[in-house]
């Protein structure tokens, strides 16, 4: 059984049921649809449009692409890269690639031209399907990459260096031979976040993808009647693997373009969404907008919304406490995973364990977990060590990188690089990334602990703690603090607030500035170190 089999099953059993909806809050629908797109346009107001496809049409779209690719020699062992913003075509394209036996290679929509070139080369991509937003970036390297990779464009006004997607698939059938894939076939190459340089290519088998379906449904109990609101980028494992729970049961999903608080609530209300996965900043924005009176919950029908869950980053306890005060009828879950472990669910809190908010939780369905010291020995409960994962969703390898694979995969265990501890009840707490640990005067500081503490301050919207060089202590903890809209705050206020922290954990330097996050919500700490590193060194030398 693979996820391709699940799509074909849904197309037969739920042919005329809605599979996917796309909502774009900021763009009116002006494009004339061609006959083979099968999309139903339903303008909901003057500002935005809504498109939907059924499970049968979803499968037909995937089949047209699969037939076109197969006609052009794309099959097992070949790789097809996807560089698209979230849209209703994204998932049919992904499945069309998989149906041929080729590997899908999703690319981060923030990649520069050089990163696009690098990733296509590393993955040995044979085809790149890209959208209108990326014409300039692809054109900059088109001459180079087109020598090895066919360029296919999805959108209006096809550039002359690429082939038009709709023209290519228009003559091909919406029926494709029955899938012969197995769970042991290679399925996809995902890329690491690339926060320490160019990203690594992560190879997964179909076994990983189908396991993520089972994990998600086991954790959150999706039924056919559930509707999943998908906001994060589909190129990342997180959003797609949470949607896999809907795929397993044939449930409807809504792809929302944009992250504005009002748009999220409007989509949840109009589409009767029952499951919403948010990133920390979006949840904060919703609560802050409600507190400021910019959003009145009486304007929305959110009676179907049963579950809010968060992943991709540590979650402040104060945020969830606030959320459950505003939305007392919501179940809540935290999900932990990596692209190397096919996204979310390797560890999860569990909706029945809301009393343990602050922990990332317990081993997920089908997963094993251990926490080890630098020698690979399991540590005692309460001690900090590196979190390791084992299960059907662990990657095959870092593609074309034997050293990185050997460093991360040992005896079937994935060494995550995340530092964690386990409490007496068996709940795991994420302490920090191994590489982000701050060593100050011989003491280990874990930035996440300090960030969680500062997040409880009523004026703070977001916070990042990094280590900056210090000639006396080696490093000092520095807090970059982003204030809520309209708020003012002083360094003295923050220092006073931090008196409840042990002295050695208190930030030595406070900087009021924006906190940059990547599309999956992770703080871009290398960027912050680059921005403030030299300044921090000078300041700390003067202070000492």
Domain range summary for the chain, segments of one domain joined by +: 3-220, 442-543
190-194, 251-255, 369-373, 459-463: range with lowest mean pLDDT: 190-194
For residues 475 and 508, the answer to whether their CB atoms sit within 8 Å is no
CATH number (3.90.480.20, 1.10.287.130, 3.40.50.12780, 3.40.50.10490) of 3-220 reads 3.40.50.12780
**Conformation bin of residue 250: beta by default, left when phi > 0, alpha when psi is -120 to 50:** left
Rounded Cα distance, 172 and 209, in Å: 27
Please, which residues bridge with residue 467 across strands?
Answer: 477
Radius of gyration of the chain from its Cα atoms, rounded to whole angstroms: 24
Check whether 263 has a pLDDT greater than 90.
yes
Torsion angle defined by CA atoms of residues 385, 348, 85 and 211, in that order, rounded to the nearest 10 degrees: 100
What angle do helix axes 237-249 and 206-220 make, rounded to 10 degrees?
Answer: 70
Q: Give me the mean pLDDT over the 216-238 stretch.
A: 93
The tally of CA atoms less than 13 A away on the side-chain side of residue 517 is 18
Q: What is the pLDDT of residues 31-90, one digit of tens each?
A: 444 333 444 444 444 456 889 999 999 999 999 999 999 999 999 999 999 999 999 999
Q: Give me the mean pLDDT over the 324-333 stretch.
A: 94
Q: Give me the mean pLDDT over the 516-537 stretch.
A: 72
25-39, 80-94, 239-253, 316-330: range with lowest mean pLDDT: 25-39
Coil, strand or helix at 408: helix
φ, ψ (nearest 5 deg) of residue 209: -65, -45
In the block, which residue shows the tokens 């900043």?
281
Beta-sheet pairing, 150-154 with 362-363: unpaired
What is the pTM for the complete model shown?
0.83
**Strand ranges, E, within 391-489:** 397-398, 409-410, 413-422, 428-433, 438-440, 443-445, 460-470, 474-483
Percent of the chain clearing pLDDT 90 (strictly above)? 65
φ, ψ (nearest 5 deg) of residue 303: -65, -20
Q: What does the pLDDT read at residue 452?
A: 83
Q: What does the pLDDT read at residue 194?
A: 52
Beta-sheet pairing, 385-390 with 413-422: antiparallel
With cut-offs at 50, 70 and 90, classify the pLDDT of residue 449: confident
Rounded Cα distance, 454 and 498, in Å: 8
184-188, 347-351, 517-521: range with lowest mean pLDDT: 517-521
Sign of CA dihedral 243, 83, 159, 68: negative
Q: What does the pLDDT read at residue 7?
A: 97
Q: What does the pLDDT read at residue 434?
A: 67
Rounded Cα distance, 212 and 393, in Å: 7
**Contacts for 519 with CB less than 8 Å, ≥ 6 apart:** 108, 109, 110, 232, 233, 236
Q: What does the pLDDT read at residue 470?
A: 77
The tally of CA atoms less than 13 A away on the side-chain side of residue 269 is 13
Rounded Cα distance, 388 and 205, in Å: 20
- Of these ranges, 30-44, 213-227, 443-457, the one predicted with the greatest mean pLDDT is 213-227
CATH class given for the domain over 442-543: alpha beta
**Contacts for 312 with CB less than 8 Å, ≥ 6 apart:** 232, 238, 279, 344, 520, 521, 522
Check whether 29 has a pLDDT greater than 70.
no
**Conformation bin of residue 417: beta by default, left when phi > 0, alpha when psi is -120 to 50:** left
What angle do helix axes 55-71 and 90-99 make, rounded to 10 degrees?
Answer: 50
């Amino acid at each position: 059984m693979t996820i391709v089999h699940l799509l074909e099953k849904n197309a037969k059993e739920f042919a005329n049921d809605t599979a996917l909806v796309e909502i774009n809050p900021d763009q009116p629908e002006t494009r004339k649809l061609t006959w083979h797109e099968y999309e139903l346009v339903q303008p909901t107001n003057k500002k935005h449009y809504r498109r939907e496809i059924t499970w049968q049409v979803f499968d037909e779209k995937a089949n047209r692409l699969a037939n076109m690719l197969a006609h052009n020699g794309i099959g097992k062992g070949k790789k097809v890269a996807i560089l698209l913003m979230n849209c209703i075509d994204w998932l049919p394209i992904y499945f069309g690639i998989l149906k041929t036996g080729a590997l899908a290679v999703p690319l981060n929509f923030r990649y520069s031209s050089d990163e696009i070139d690098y990733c296509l080369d590393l993955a040995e991509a044979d085809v790149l399907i890209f959208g209108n937003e990326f014409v300039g970036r692809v054109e900059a390297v088109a001459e180079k990459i087109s020598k090895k990779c066919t360029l296919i464009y999805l959108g209006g006004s096809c550039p002359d260096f690429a082939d038009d997607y709709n023209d290519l698939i228009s003559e091909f059938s919406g029926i494709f031979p029955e899938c012969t894939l197995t769970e042991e076939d290679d399925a996809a190459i995902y890329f690491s976040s690339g926060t320490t340089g160019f990203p690594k290519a992560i190879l997964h088998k179909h076994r990983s993808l189908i396991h993520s379906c089972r994990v998600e449904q086991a954790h959150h109990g999706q039924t056919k009647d559930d509707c999943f609101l998908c906001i994060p980028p589909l190129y990342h494992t997180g959003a797609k693997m949470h949607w896999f729970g809907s795929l397993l049961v044939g449930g409807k999903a809504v792809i929302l373009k944009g992250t504005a608080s009002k748009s999220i609530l409007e989509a949840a209300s109009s589409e009767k969404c029952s499951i919403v996965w948010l990133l920390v900043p979006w949840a904060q924005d919703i609560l802050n907008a409600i507190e400021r009176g910019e959003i009145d919950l009486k304007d929305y029908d959110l009676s179907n919304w049963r579950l809010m869950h968060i992943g991709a980053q540590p979650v402040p306890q104060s945020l969830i406490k606030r959320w459950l005060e505003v939305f007392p009828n919501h179940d809540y879950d935290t999900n932990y995973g990596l692209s190397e472990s096919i996204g979310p669910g390797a560890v999860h809190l569990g909706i029945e364990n809301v009393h343990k908010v602050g922990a990332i939780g317990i081993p997920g369905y089908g997963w094993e977990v251990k926490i080890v010291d630098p020698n690979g020995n399991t540590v005692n409960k309460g001690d900090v060590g590196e979190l390791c994962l084992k299960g059907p969703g662990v990657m095959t390898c870092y593609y074309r990188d034997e050293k990185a694979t050997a460093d991360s995969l040992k005896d079937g265990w994935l060494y995550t690089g995340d530092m964690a501890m386990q409490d007496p009840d068996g709940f795991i707490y994420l302490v920090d990334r191994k590489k982000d640990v701050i060593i100050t005067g011989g003491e280990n500081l874990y930035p996440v602990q300090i960030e969680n503490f500062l997040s409880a301050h009523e004026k703070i919207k977001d916070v990042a703690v990094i280590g900056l060089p210090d000639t006396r202590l080696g490093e000092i903890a520095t807090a970059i603090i982003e204030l809520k809209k309209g708020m003012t705050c002083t360094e003295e206020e923050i220092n006073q607030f931090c008196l409840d922290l042990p002295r050695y954990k208190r930030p030595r330097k406070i900087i009021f500035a924006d906190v940059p996050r990547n599309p999956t919500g992770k703080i871009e700490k290398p960027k912050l170190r680059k921005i403030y590193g030299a300044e921090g060194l000078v300041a700390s030398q003067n202070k000492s």
